[in-house]
Structure 1
Amino acid sequence: MKDYAALLIATALFAFLSPGLVFQLPGKHRPVDFLNMKTSVVSMLLHTVIYGLLLFLFLIVLNLHIYA
């Protein structure tokens, strides 16, 4: 396997978009909470949609590839 772009992009987006790790949208008490480590079902669904859209953008629309 010479193309690692999909793996690297998916892993980085998953780490960055984990609800509550860096930010949570929507938060418990504010529209955006930072570093609170508390999630809700709405937050998980919204982060899943954002993750899917960004992954689609990077891998399909922009066609990014990294060859080793």
Structure 2
Amino acid sequence: MADWGPVVIAVVLFVLLSPGLLFQLPGKNRVVEFGKMQTSGVSILVHTIIFFGLITIFLIAIGVHINTG
């Protein structure tokens, strides 16, 4: 049996937290911008910290597992 939980959670969070795709925090003109598709170094850093925090919560604290087979 394979555990697909970490893979699914990581892919979903990566897509949702890609800077500029859905939202960008901090934006160039405002604190939060939606759908701009432009990023900055600070925005990448903020989204990386959010990604690390959420993946730690889902995989270590909650322990999400999706077993197949």
TM-score category of the 2 structures, normalised to the smaller one: over 0.9
Counterpart-to-counterpart distance in 1, 2:12 and 2:53: 14
Gaps of 5+ in 1: none
Structure 1 segments of 4+ aligned residues over 4 angstroms from their partners: none
Q: How far apart are the structure 1 equivalents of 2:23 and 2:3? A: 30
Q: Paired residue for 2:24? A: 24
Q: Could you report, residue by residue, the CA deviation over 1:34-59 in whole angstroms, capped at 9, with x for unpaired residues?
A: 00000000000000000000000000
Q: Could you tell me how far 1:19 is from its partner in structure 2?
A: 0.1
- Counterparts of 1:55 and 1:16 in 2: how far apart (Å)? 12
Amino acid at match of 2:64: L
Number of aligned positions between the proteins: 68
Counting only pairs closer than 5 Å after superposition, residues 1-68 of structure 1 correspond to structure 2 as 2-68=2-68
Letter of the 2:12 counterpart: A
TM-score by length of 1: 0.97
Secondary structure, counterpart of 1:21 in structure 2 = coil
